[in-house]
Amino acid sequence: MVTHPLRVSENRRFLVGSDDKPFFYLGDTAWELFHRCTRADALHYLQDRAAKRFTVIQAVVLAEFGGLTEPNAQGDLPLHDNDPTQINEAYFSHVDFIVEEAAALGLTIGMLPTWGDKWNKQWGRGPEIFTPENARTYGQILGQRYRDKPLIWILGGDRPVETDTHRAVIENMARGLRAGDEGRHLISFHPMGGQTSAQHFHEADWLDFNMWQSGHDRNRDNYNCIQADYERQPIKPCMDAEPGYEDHAASFNLTNGYLDDYDVRKSAYWALFAGAHGHTYGCHPIWQMLQPGRNAVTWARRPWQEALHLPGSRQMQFARALLESRPFLTRLPDQTLISSEPGTGTDHVRATRDAEGSYAFVYVPSGKPVEIALERLSAKSLVASWYDPRTGLARSIGEMPGKGTHTFIPPSSGPDWVLVLDDTARRYPAPGGVL
């Protein structure tokens, strides 16, 4: 169980708890959780995600779909007269309930104070209600209210920062949160599709880690996105906080088919092995909490209760289990491990290792042979295995000298596998065997 408050690790690459133990940010996207879910619905959802070993639930207080004009599941609106300085206690008591139930299950809420159409109505319902002045007050109200709760603040909400006023709204809301919670929580920014928080706020003192929204394309090269943020100065942790959602029409086009568990696995391992501190999964019917009687957004095709059981969400825990099975805070990306062509698209191979070279993971997404430069690791001899990202189980390859290059051929029952290389002297536990 993580101990709050969270903070950035000493090497500025990861998140840790107050006990200095690593915090793996395994997020799920539940944007409409506070707005559209009854308390029973919220509990059902949270219990499922806790059982699947998620650690963060991303949800929005002032929600996208009529969040200011359509009451929540309890029949309450969030604000009096759409004034961010005048919150409705009844609405926020429902938010409180969900935050507390999540905490009881060991989950951290990634709380967006508002969706972006409330400060930049480039599209969506709006209306725009925030000014730099009331944004600070609203932030301070939320900061004080949730000062002692386990959460992470996420500003933004899928809209671009286009004017000085937009920037001032975000900056002042961050200042308000910091004043209200006395700096107890991390803050990030959720950008619009194809962007990173670093474009606008990388050097801001309130921005603790960067978020990408790589978007909903099949085989999006989010590893390049993460690499770009990983290399920025000053160093800040980075992650893909909105990759392609499971059960979402690829590139918003039905002729491309729907993204599936294979697509979300690729996004996760590519980003993590490129240097991300954590990763967010999303499922298209779930973020909108689709159920009969609600209009489906962009061809969502099943109720959220059914979508809970799509395979990608269960498989995310296996990425977490693998990374937590080895020294966590010394992991770094290293493509020089790959002697063969790393490939592009579905074929792209991605590698990560311990800073001392005592272990390495190589994600091989398409079942093609991969040649590894074993001398990049520090071991005199290595033990190798194939880790199955669908099941969390592993197949042993055996031992080999830690020198020269070696070609590894993934099992035929793919398509994707993770090659695990360990220094035999370190006696790391065999990967696999999780739920």
Q: What is d(CA 273, CA 361) in angstroms, rounded to the nearest whole number?
A: 8
Q: What is d(CA 225, CA 151) in angstroms, rounded to the nearest whole number?
A: 25
pLDDT, residue 432, reads 74
Q: What is d(CA 270, CA 349) in angstroms, rounded to the nearest whole number?
A: 8
CB 98 within 8 A of CB 63: no
| pLDDT at residue 262 tops 80 | yes
* Structural domains of the chain, with CATH: 7-324 (3.20.20.80), 331-426 (2.60.40)
CB 67 within 8 A of CB 117: no
Residue appearing with tokens 């031992």: 399
Compute CA 81 distance to the chain's CA centroid, rounded to the nearest angstrom. Answer: 34
Instruction: Please tell me whether residue 375 adopts helix, strand or coil conformation.
Output: helix
* Phi, then psi, of 100 in degrees rounded to 5: -70, -40
Instruction: Find, among 188, 349, 316, the residue nearest to 246 by Cα.
Output: 316
Mean pLDDT for the chain? 97
Structure confidence at residue 73 as a pLDDT band (50, 70, 90): very high
Angle (CA) 219 348 411, round 5°: 110
Structure confidence at residue 435 as a pLDDT band (50, 70, 90): very low
| pLDDT at residue 2 tops 80 | no
Residues 6 or more apart whose CB falls under 8 angstroms from that of 413 comprise none
pLDDT above 70 coverage of the chain, percent = 99
Instruction: Please tell me whether residue 213 adopts helix, strand or coil conformation.
Output: strand
Instruction: Find, among 90, 3, 99, the residue nearest to 43 by Cα.
Output: 99
| pLDDT at residue 17 tops 50 | yes
Q: How long a stretch of residues is the chain? A: 435
Mean of the pLDDT values across residues 300-306?
98
Instruction: Find, among 423, 322, 345, 426, the residue nearest to 382 by Cα.
Output: 423
| Alpha carbon separation from 241 to 45, 73, 263, 268, 300 (Å, rounded) | 19, 26, 15, 10, 20
Residue type, 140: Q
Burial 42-59 (b: 16+ CB within 10 A, else e): bbebbebbbebbbbbbbb
CB 15 within 8 A of CB 277: yes
379-420 confidence digits (pLDDT tens): 999 999 999 999 999 999 999 999 999 999 999 998 999 999
pLDDT, residue 434, reads 39
| pLDDT at residue 433 tops 80 | no
